[in-house]
Structure 1
Amino acid sequence: MRKIVLSIIMALLLTAGAAGCARTETSEEKESSVSEENQGTEEQTENETNGLAASDGAEMQTEDPEMPTRVIEDGTKINMYFGDTVVPGILNDSETAQALIEMLPYTVHMNRYSHDFCGVMDDPLPYKEEDVHYGWLNGDIDFATDADYFTILFEDEESSEQYGYQVNIGVIDCPLENISKLTGSYDVRIELAEE
């Protein structure tokens, strides 16, 4: 009984402390950023150097809101196993995605939050500074550089630019509800899809 109560308390603390994997830039960080820009400083942190949004330069579809917004024509097909549910995806050709492909098969523990499934990777993935952006498009598979998060984002793209440190590595290749209907936490196995 005592273990159950402790487990519940720990779960509540973890849930309360995490509002999802995406990180919001605080007003102090924004003010600091503006102050540094006004002083002409050369030292800038991630995301302040490029100010890109997830939609910048992205090939997108907007006709079907039930499908991912981002479109990736060519890429590496993967399957992500959430228990008995398979969520197919396509990884792009970024340095970050290619590093993940080299690690496959890979398992990451992921939890569901309001707009994503997210888990902390054991080791950080490499990334190029120019690939770091704010926000996401629904259906994106991202690596968040501020805490080594592997995340699959399925809602709230319209208000997502408040979250920084994102690197897009791919997109799910199925209706958004295939992942948004899932609840709880999973040890998600990611592997190359057989073609």
Structure 2
Amino acid sequence: MRKILAVPFAVLLIVMLVACSNGNGVIGEAAQSTAGIPAETSEGTPVHDNPMRVASDGAWMQIEDPSIATRVLEGGTKINMHFGDVVIPGTLNDSTAAQDLISKLPYTVHVNRYSHDFCGVMDDPLEYSEEDVHFGWLNGDIDFATDANYFTILFEDEEKSEQYGYQVNIGKIDIKLSVISELTGSYDVLIELADEAD
């Protein structure tokens, strides 16, 4: 009798999961931002159909000054990102995706302002390592979102960001978060090595 009930229950479970899935490896609500796919339980806890890393895993972080990037990087490659007349300095890390971006510099990407980030689609996807993919971000992160080739600079909402998947951190900004969060509209952002701009 148990075997007879187990088969219909398994089929029902699969149908329910397929009906709730948005097709991007996360079960729940539809996409609401350009930087990943949100999913929450009714209690607001992030839900993932397979457990993955989060942005804070293994990260060096500072929490004393919320006006600057949470992530701390030692070393890395210094860049400048030109938002019109405003220059946002940053540091790229040693990840596969960051190194791929560095090989493309100078590079221009069109970005738009959203609630917690500036985000734009890259013409060519960055190479990345699957082990670098995680959920969420830390304020001030520069990420590549693998689900749609998004280049994104995230400046707020880290505390609720783990509902967004498919993030690969490639670096962080090196300026107060307010400098970028106060910008509005869209930009063709030129990204270049910092020493080339000097």
Give the TM interval when normalised to the shorter protein: 0.7 to 0.9
How big is the shift at 1:51? 1.0
For 2:113 and 2:136, the matched residues in 1 are separated by 18
> Does residue 21 in structure 1 map to residue 34 in structure 2?
yes
Q: Under a length normalisation based on structure 1, what TM-score does the superposition of the two structures give?
A: 0.79
| Residues 131 and 168, structure 1, Cα contact 8 Å, conserved in 2 | yes
How big is the shift at 1:20? 2.7
How big is the shift at 1:26? 4.8
Kindly, what percent of the aligned residue pairs are identical?
A: 70
For 2:67 and 2:39, the matched residues in 1 are separated by 32
| Residues 69 and 140, structure 2, Cα contact 8 Å, conserved in 1 | yes
Q: Under a length normalisation based on structure 2, what TM-score does the superposition of the two structures give?
A: 0.78
Aligned to 2:108: 107
Aligned to 1:117: 118
Greater Rg, structure 1 or structure 2? 2
Aligned to 1:181: 182
Aligned to 1:158: 159
4+ residue runs of structure 1 moved beyond 3 angstroms?
none
How big is the shift at 1:19? 3.6
The alignment's C-alpha RMSD in Å is 1.9
For 1:24 and 1:18, the matched residues in 2 are separated by 5
Equivalent position SS for 2:53: coil
> Does residue 71 in structure 1 map to residue 72 in structure 2?
yes
| Residues 109 and 189, structure 2, Cα contact 8 Å, conserved in 1 | yes
For 1:18 and 1:179, the matched residues in 2 are separated by 24
How big is the shift at 1:73? 1.5
One-letter amino acid matched to 2:90: G
Instruction: Identify unmatched segments of 5+ residues in structure 1.
Output: 1-16, 34-47
> Does residue 56 in structure 1 map to residue 61 in structure 2?
no
Aligned to 1:143: 144
One-letter amino acid matched to 1:123: D
Instruction: Identify unmatched segments of 5+ residues in structure 2.
Output: 1-29, 41-46
For 1:82 and 1:19, the matched residues in 2 are separated by 24
Question: 1:67-121 deviations in whole A, cap 9, x for unaligned?
Answer: 0000011000000000000000000000100000000000000000000000000
> Aligned residues, how many?
162
Equivalent position SS for 1:23: coil
One-letter amino acid matched to 2:36: R
For 2:93 and 2:143, the matched residues in 1 are separated by 11
Aligned to 2:4: none
